[in-house]
Amino acid sequence: MTYFRPNINAMVGYAPGEQPQLGTQVIKLNTNENPYPPAPVALQVLREMDGELLRRYPDSMAEEFRQAASHVLGFPPDWMLVGNGSDELLNLIVRACVAPSQKVVYPTPTYILYRTLAQMQPAQVIEVDYDENYTLPIEQLIAAKGAVTFIASPNSPPGNAVPVAALHQLAAQLSGVLVIDEAYVDFAEANALELVKAYDNVIVLRTLSKGYSLAGLRLGFGIAQPSLLEGLIKVKDSYNVDAIACKVGAAAVLDQAHKIKNAEQVKSSRAKLTTDLKRLGFLVYPSQANFLLVQPPRKNAEKLYQLLKNQGILVRYFQQPRLEDKLRITVGTEEQNQILVKSLTQLLSKA
């Protein structure tokens, strides 16, 4: 006896990374949070929150945040849709754009939520493999004819960024919607915002979870032409962004200097950690995000994951094709990275 639709029974739910209790003595390098605190101005806004703002329903379009993001990115407010994390926007896009018999297409390995959302719909899932060099398989993606095509750039877990020229080519030839998920853009060298002006089928997604150190706030936004946002607005909850997230997020996004300073630190630590891990014999994939995908010298990734966990260091292990011999390690503070490298040095010499 079950009360669920057949596709819900058949699917595996999305499994988020472990979140130990606050105060637990762990070095948490498993869910790509920013190791540095949010902007002080944003925390100040949080402390001074007016109770009247909570008594009322929030603005249904999170207007204060939209204005702030519009000011920073130079797109009009009505080219932006704000969500409860960019995960909500991914959800809205599948709900609004993919009919049951249609396809959701994406290159793999990538963010597992794309598959989860497609299976919930249910939609047909078409996964196209990246090659070893992570060249975008443009022809195959076009041939798959997705109602929606997802490209994470920088991508997780590999960390590869897709060249903007390749995204142009894809956008121009796709029949459906192209979603460019830029969750890690703050650590990358380029972004694809210019595509939004050129193509009415492109939506670029951003989040405050990674670059702005606000994963707990749950705030993300999409940038697209108003005609593409129209259908998503019909599908969303009327009050999908709470008053606190809207106001704190606006303050955070206006403090670009704080975000840039932290991102520069993360990028410099990423380079150093890359060198240290290579010295230990790891294969390290080039990354434009705040994490590294690495293959341990003996390919005993699952074992190493467990041994690190026993020492209070959490990294991410994926039981998935092409990833079962690899670990995804979030770049932490200099101190955290050093403890990690020290532990790995000991573990490898023992093994």
124 strand-pairing partners = 103
Q: How many residues sit in the footprint of ligand PLP (CB under 6 A)?
A: 12
Q: Which of 58, 85, 107, 109 binds ligand PLP (CB under 6 A)?
A: 85
Quickly count helices (H) and strands (E) in the chain.
14, 12
Residue with tokens 């094709």: 321
Q: How far is the CB of 153 from ligand PLP (least distance, A)?
A: 9
Q: Which stretch binds ligand PLP (CB under 6 A): 9-17, 35-43, 54-62, 84-92?
A: 84-92
Chain residue at closest Cβ approach to ligand PLP? 85
Q: Which of 207, 240, 287, 336 binds ligand PLP (CB under 6 A)?
A: 207
Q: Determine, following the binding rule CB under 6 A, whether residue 159 of this chain makes contact with ligand PLP.
A: no
Non-local CB neighbours of 219 within 8 Å, separated by 6+ positions: 65, 82, 83, 84, 85, 207, 208, 209, 241, 245, 246, 249
Q: How far is the CB of 141 from ligand PLP (least distance, A)?
A: 17
Q: Determine, following the binding rule CB under 6 A, whether residue 86 of this chain makes contact with ligand PLP.
A: yes
> What DSSP character marks residue 236?
S
Q: Are 215 and 26 in contact (CB under 8 A)?
A: no
End-to-end Cα distance, the chain: 49
Q: How far is the CB of 293 from ligand PLP (least distance, A)?
A: 13
Helix (H) / strand (E) containing 202:
strand 202-207
222 strand-pairing partners = 81, 205
Q: Which of 201, 209, 269, 343 binds ligand PLP (CB under 6 A)?
A: 209
Three-state DSSP at 257 gives: helix
Q: Determine, following the binding rule CB under 6 A, whether residue 181 of this chain makes contact with ligand PLP.
A: yes
Q: Determine, following the binding rule CB under 6 A, whether residue 111 of this chain makes contact with ligand PLP.
A: yes
> What DSSP character marks residue 224?
-
Cβ closest to ligand PLP, residue 113 vs residue 344: 113
Q: Which stretch binds ligand PLP (CB under 6 A): 48-56, 57-65, 207-215, 293-301?
A: 207-215
Q: Which stretch binds ligand PLP (CB under 6 A): 82-90, 163-171, 192-200, 275-283?
A: 82-90
Q: Determine, following the binding rule CB under 6 A, whether residue 220 of this chain makes contact with ligand PLP.
A: yes
Q: Which of 128, 171, 215, 273 binds ligand PLP (CB under 6 A)?
A: 215
| Cα–Cα distance, 332 to 312 (Å, whole number) | 14
Q: Determine, following the binding rule CB under 6 A, whether residue 141 of this chain makes contact with ligand PLP.
A: no
Q: How far is the CB of 15 from ligand PLP (least distance, A)?
A: 14
Cβ closest to ligand PLP, residue 70 vs residue 209: 209
Q: Determine, following the binding rule CB under 6 A, whether residue 153 of this chain makes contact with ligand PLP.
A: no
Three-state DSSP at 125 gives: strand
Q: Determine, following the binding rule CB under 6 A, whether residue 186 of this chain makes contact with ligand PLP.
A: no
- Residue 63, exposed/middle/buried by CB under 10 A (0-12, 13-18, 19+)? middle
Q: Which of 156, 160, 225, 290 binds ligand PLP (CB under 6 A)?
A: 156
Residues 292-351 touching ligand PLP, rule: CB under 6 A, are none
Q: How far is the CB of 347 from ligand PLP (least distance, A)?
A: 27
Select from 339, 340, 314, 332 the least CA-distant residue to 18. 314
| Cα–Cα distance, 271 to 313 (Å, whole number) | 20
Cβ closest to ligand PLP, residue 201 vs residue 330: 330
Q: Determine, following the binding rule CB under 6 A, whether residue 160 of this chain makes contact with ligand PLP.
A: no
Q: Cβ–Cβ contacts within 10 Å for residue 106, how many?
A: 25
Q: Read out DSSP for 7-68?
A: HHHHSPPP-PPP-PPTT---EE-SS---SSPPPHHHHHHHHT--HHHHHSPPPTT-HHHHHH
Q: How far is the CB of 311 from ligand PLP (least distance, A)?
A: 26
Q: Residues interacting with ligand PLP, by CB under 6 A?
A: 85-87, 111, 152, 156, 181, 183, 207, 209, 215, 220
